[in-house]
Chains A and B, each alone.
Chain A
Amino acid sequence: MAHVVVRDLVKTYRVSERDPGLIGAVRGLLSRRYREVRALDGVSFELARGELLGLIGPNGAGKSTTIKILSGILRPTAGVVTVGDIVPYAERTRHVARLGVVFGQRTQLWWDLPVLDGFELLREIYRVDRARFTRNLDELTAVLRIEGILHQPVRLLSLGQRMRAEIAAAMLHEPELLFLDEPSIGLDAPSKLALRDVVKRLNRERGVTVLLTTHDMQDIEALAERVIVIGHGRVLLDSPFLALRDTVLRERRLVIDFAEAAPALELEGVTAVARDGASLVLTFDPARTSAASLIARVSAEHSVLDLRVERPAIEEVISHFYDLHGAVEA
C-alpha cells in the first residue's frame, strides 16, 4: 500500500491587485480588484514507504502548495490526498505527530536558547518519552555531528550548523514522513555534501519517506531516486532520475583538444559544432551516431591531443525541459 497518495489535486486562490504609482495608491483606497490563481491543476502521484522523491519546478509552479496540502495546513479545493491512513487536513494533530518538516533558512528552534533546550521543548511538544528521546538524540547527534553545538544558542550557529540542528529537530520524534524544503539553500559546499550524506543515511537506515523540494540539481542528482517536475500546477514529468536525462535531453558532447588550432570539420551525424580555441565541441545524438565512430573519423584525419565524452549538466536538462513546456516562473 502506498504511503502517500495524491490524486487530481486542485487548489485555487483569490489574489488582490493594485495599480502602481501614486494614482494607483489612491485608487486602491477606494476599490480592490481580484484575480483567480490556479495554483494546482490536477496533480497526481504516489509515494511508497521509504522512497526518496525529488520535487522540482520553477518558482510559483505549485511545489509549496503541494507540500502545504500534504502537511495538512492547507485544504485543497478538490482532489484526494492521504498519508498512511489519514487525510492530512482532516486530522491535523494525528497527521502532524508523524511528520517532520525542515524549511531551508528558517528555523523552528528557539532563537535565543541553546539547541538542546529547543530539543527538550520539542520532546515535550511531541510527547516523546524520555528513553526514546535520549536514544534518538544520541543517534542523531552522532549522524549529524552536532555534539559540539548542542549547548550553543541557535542565533550563534552558522547556517550549516543550523540546518543540521534543524534536521535533528525534525527527526527527534521519529516521523514516518520527512519534508525538506530547500534545505541546502545558502549552504557552503562542504555543508551541502554533509547534508546530502545525512539525508541519504536517514532515508536508508530509518526507512523514512522523504520528499525533497529544491532548486539545487546537485541535491537531486545525489539523493533522488525519482523526480517529479511540477509546472503551472501540473505534473509535467514523473520518472526515475536515471531515466530523466535520456527522456529529456539525450544528446552527448564530444570534446576534442587538438595539437594545433582546431580544424574546420564537416561530419555527418553531428548536430552542432562549437569552437573554443584549440578545442572543438561536437554535439550528437548517441542513438543515431556512436561516439566511437565519431572519434575514429576525427582521429583518422587530424592530430588529437585529448578527448572526452560529456553528458549535459543536469541544470541544462531541467532548464531545457522547462523551456519545452513553457514552464517558466509564474
Chain B
Amino acid sequence: MSAAAPGSVPGAVAPRLAFGERLRPFRAAFESRFSSMLQYRSAALAGFATQCWWGGIKVMILAAFFRGGDAAAPLSLADAVTYIWLTQALFALLPWLADSEVALNVRTGAIVYDRLRPVDAYALLFARGLGWLVARTLPRAALLVSVAALGLPLLGAQRWALGAPHGAAGGVCFAVSLGLAALLSTAVLMLSSAAVIALGTDRGVVALVPSIVLVFSGNLLPLSLFPDSLAALLLLQPFAGLLDIPLRLYTGQVSGAPAVAVLGLQLAWLVLLVALGRRAVARALERLEVHGG
C-alpha cells in the first residue's frame, strides 16, 4: 500500500494537489485498515461474546452493591447499567493497546518508511490509527447495543437493559462527545505509538498503558462511583474524555450548561494531546534516522 501521491519523488517539490487528492492517501489508509479488520469474523463474534459476558457480570455486581439503595451513589442503578453496557460496546475504541501496525513496523524496521513518505507522518499515522480503532469498534458496538438495548427488553429483562439517551439534547451531546472521544483516543494512541517508536518495542507501553487507560477512562468503574473526594480530579484528567464524559452526557448526569463545559474540556485535551503527539512522533521518527535501520 503506497501512500505517495502518484508520480512524486521523495525530496522533490510536491506538486499542487486538489484537496480531495490530498486526502487520498489518508482515506486509503483508513479503508485498508478497516477492510483488513473485517476479515476476522470469528474474532468479531467471539469479541462480542466476551463483551456481553463482561457487561453482564459487571451489571450484576453493581446491582448487588446498589441493593443498599441508590442514595449512596451519584447516579442511579439504571444509569449505571446503561453506563456499563456502553463501556462494553465502546471498549475497542479505547487506546488501551498499542497500535498493532506501528508495533509490527517497529519490530521489522519498516517504520523507517513512515519517515520517507512525502506526506505528514503524524497525520498518516493518525488516519491509520483512527481507521483501526473505528473498525474494531463498529461491529462489536452494533451487536452489543442491539442485544443490550433491544434484546434484553424482549427477554423481559427491561431493568438490565441499555436505556435510551437523556432526551434529544442528551443524545446530540453524546454523539458530538463520542466523535471527540474517538479523536481523543487516536491522539492518545499516537502518544503511545511515539513511545513504541522511541523505545523500539511495545513492551513498556503494553505493560503500563492498559491499566491507566482502563481505570481513568471509566471503563473499569464509572468515575462517579469512585470516592467523592476524588470526583473533581477524575473528571478533569485527560482520559475522562475517552469514555466517561460521553457517557455522562448520554445518561444525563451532566446536562445543560455544564454539558457544554465538559465538551469544551474534551476538546481542550484533544488539542493539547494532538500538539504533544505531533512533537513526540516527530522526535521519535527523527531519532530513528540517527540510529539507522
Contacts and interface: CB of A to CB of B under 8 A. Distances in A.
Establish whether A and B are touching in the complex (CB under 8 Å): yes
Contact of B35 (A18, A22, A29): A22
Contacts of A25: 35, 38-39
Nearest to A32: B41
B169 interface: no
Interface residues of A, number: 7
B44 interface: yes
A286 interface: no
Contacts of A18: 39
B194 to A, nearest CB: 29
Contacts of B35: 21-22, 25
A18 to B, nearest CB: 8
Nearest to B38: A25
Interface string B24-65: 000000010001001101001000000000000000000000
Interface in A6-54: 18, 21-22, 25-26, 28-29
Nearest to A28: B41
Contacts of A22: 31, 35, 38
Nearest to B31: A22
Contacts of B31: 22
Contacts of A26: 38
A32 to B, nearest CB: 9
Contacts of A28: 39, 41
A219 to B, nearest CB: 30
Nearest to B37: A25
A28 B38 CA distance: 9
Q: Name the residue in A18, A21, A25, A26 with the highest tally of chain B Cβ atoms < 10 Å from its Cβ.
A: A25
Nearest to A26: B38
Interface in A242-279: none
A326 to B, nearest CB: 33
Contacts of B38: 22, 25-26, 29
Contacts of A29: 38, 41, 44
Contacts of B39: 18, 25, 28
Q: Name the residue in B31, B39, B44 with the highest tally of chain A Cβ atoms < 10 Å from its Cβ.
A: B39
A22 B41 CA distance: 13
Contacts of B44: 29
Interface in A136-190: none
B32 to A, nearest CB: 10
A34 to B, nearest CB: 16
Contacts of A21: 35
B146 to A, nearest CB: 16
A289 B31 CA distance: 65
A25 B39 CA distance: 5
Nearest to A18: B39
14 contacts: A18-B39, A21-B35, A22-B31, A22-B35, A22-B38, A25-B35, A25-B38, A25-B39, A26-B38, A28-B39, A28-B41, A29-B38, A29-B41, A29-B44
Given A25-B38, A26-B38, A29-B38, 11 more contacts: A18-B39, A21-B35, A22-B31, A22-B35, A22-B38, A25-B35, A25-B39, A28-B39, A28-B41, A29-B41, A29-B44
Chain A to chain B: the 3 pairs with minimum beta-carbon distance, closest first: A29-B41, A25-B38, A22-B35
